[in-house]
Amino acid sequence: MQKIPHPTDENLLVGLHTADDAGVYKLTADIALIHTVDFFTPIVDDPYMYGQIAAANSLSDVYAMGGRPLTALNIVGFPQILFSNDILAEILKGGYDKVTEAGALIVGGHTITDDELKYGLAVTGIVHPDKVLTNAGARAGDVLILTKPIGTGILTTALKGEYQLGTLLDQVSQMMARLNNIAMEVMQKFTVNACTDISGFGLLGHSHEVAKSSRVGLQFQLSQIPHYREALPLIKKGFVPGGAGNNRIFLDDKVLLSENLSWEQSTLLFDPQTSGGLLIAVPADHAEQFLQALHSAGVPEAAIVGRVVAEHPGQIEVVD
Ligand code: CO
Ligand code: CO
Ligand code: CO
């Protein structure tokens, strides 16, 4: 495959050269623009909920860079033969409500006829050029904090397989639709060294980007990682998204898994997430305070999941 050239510019603060969440372009001494885009096929049956989740997911990359979303554009692929316009209206209402909750504005969009339903947004945000959070700043000694449970890929795969999730469906939907804005606001009040959001490459895939860009090792404590209670039994039942296998293959020589980890447990760590939480590297001396601030601000699921180490730079270790 031909290598795609990476543009460089003195005002381009974050571009294609790092595997970060979004591009950042310095406009003035005080303002940098954040650009990001994301869209995907439905993961829940309720169109209004799907719209909210897709929007929360698209907005997340702005928060992961430490920024605030300003405007957004809808991106829609719509099979008119399969769905009524009422369905589309519900999806767009979900997106609208979530973007409004974020304090941003939907200012336009584009729809094409497609074989498969797709929805997402291109989002523009702002951040102070000196306060951009990337995945490249983690330092040995930092504590790692994760703000949402993992396992959404497993659960939504079970849903597609007609498995009845019961009350868990509502729980996981609400969690995916939850904005990462509160966690971002708490980050503004503390020294934070690195941040990324957990999405398609799973907890270990996005952690690898942090390890590689920051030239450090990460160490996770399996028992501390928040996850949905049904995730492991569902993996046993065979509900494993294809992306989890791809992530496992790609990360093969980049992860050091404890021999005591079961295949189901490691699969959960490779599970691709939709609208996942933020993974934040915080200096150890105020990690506990930071965690308490997250809990009292309305992110009770946030947990200390591991630490940054000087050993095995670029690699992730998981201990049980
Ligand atoms: Co991201
Ligand atoms: Co993204
Ligand atoms: Co980032």
**CA angle 244-206-135, nearest 5°?**
175
Q: Region 248-263: what's the mean pLDDT?
A: 96
Q: Which ligand is nearest to the CA of 196?
A: 3
> What's the CA gap between 74 and 55, in Å, rounded?
9
Task: Report the separation in Å between the CA atom of 284 and the middle of ligand 1, taken as the mean of its atom positions.
Answer: 24
C-alpha of residue 259 to centroid of ligand 2, in Å: 32
- The per-residue pLDDT for 2 is 76
Please state whether 103 falls in left (phi above 0), alpha (psi between -120 and 50) or beta. left
pLDDT tens across 173-188, in order? Answer: 999 999 999 999 999 9
Question: Which pLDDT does position 50 carry in this prediction?
Answer: 98
For range 34-38, the mean pLDDT = 97
Q: Which of 193, 214, 210, 191 is nearest to 202 (CA)?
A: 210
In the chain, % of residues over pLDDT 90: 93
Beta strand 143-146 with 217-221 is unpaired
Ligand 2 centre distance from Cα of residue 39 (Å): 9
Distance 62 CA to ligand 2 centre (A): 9
The gap from C-alpha 75 to its chain's centroid, in whole angstroms, comes to 19
**Any idea which ligand is nearest the CA of 213?**
3
pLDDT at position 295 over 90: yes
Residue 167: HSE in the Cβ half-sphere, 13 Å Cα cutoff: 1
Q: How confident is the model at residue 196 (pLDDT cuts 50, 70, 90)?
A: very high
pLDDT of 18 higher than 80:
no
Burial class for 199, CB neighbours closer than 10 Å (0-12, 13-18, 19+): buried
Q: Which residues contact 7 (CB under 8 A, 6 or more apart)?
A: 15, 16
Instruction: Determine the 3-state secondary structure of 294 from DSSP.
Output: helix
Cα separations in angstroms, 94 against 43, 55, 274: 14, 8, 16
Mean pLDDT (whole number) for 178-206? 97
Facing residues of 255 across strands?
A: 316
Q: If residue 231 lies in a helix (H) or strand (E), which one and from where to where?
A: helix 231-236
Q: Which two tokens stand for residue 47?
A: 């169109």
Distance 60 CA to ligand 1 centre (A): 7
Q: Which ligand is nearest to the CA of 197?
A: 1
105-129 pLDDT per residue, tens: 999 999 999 999 999 999 999 999 9
- Residue 280 Cα to ligand 3 middle (Å): 10
- Residue 190, pLDDT above cutoff 70: yes
Q: pLDDT by residue (tens digit) across 69-96?
A: 999 999 999 999 999 999 999 999 999 9
What is the structure's pLDDT at 31? 98
- Mind giving me the DSSP string for 142-157? PEEEE-S-B-HHHHHH
233 CA → ligand 3 middle, Å: 32
In angstroms, what is the span from residue 204 Cα to ligand 1's centroid?
13
236 CA → ligand 3 middle, Å? 33
What is the Å distance from ligand 2's center to 261 Cα?
29
Taking the centre of ligand 3 as the mean of its atom positions, its distance from the CA of residue 60, in whole angstroms, is 10
Query: What is the residue-wise DSSP string for 243-284?
Result: HHHHHHHHTGGGEEE-TT--HHHHHHHHPPPSS--EEEEE-G
Reported as a single tens digit per residue, the pLDDT across 269-279 is 999 999 999 99
Ligand 1 centre to CA of 230 (Å) is 25
pLDDT for 238:
96
Average pLDDT of the chain is: 96
pLDDT of amino acid 17: 75
Closest-approaching ligand to the CA atom of 194? 3
Question: Is the alpha carbon torsion for 265, 269, 274, 278 positive or negative?
Answer: positive
Ligand approaching nearest to the C-alpha of 67: 3
pLDDT given for residue 1 in this prediction: 64
- Could you give the 3-state DSSP secondary structure of residue 119? strand
Tokens of 295: 């809990």
pLDDT at 8 over 90: no
Which residue from 128, 124, 131, 127 is spatially nearest to 104, judged by alpha carbons? Answer: 124
Rounded CA separation 85/121 (Å): 19
Q: Residue 196 C-alpha to ligand 2 middle, in angstroms?
A: 10
d(CA 279, CA 165): 27
Position 170 pLDDT exceeds 90? yes
Write down the pTM of the prediction.
0.95
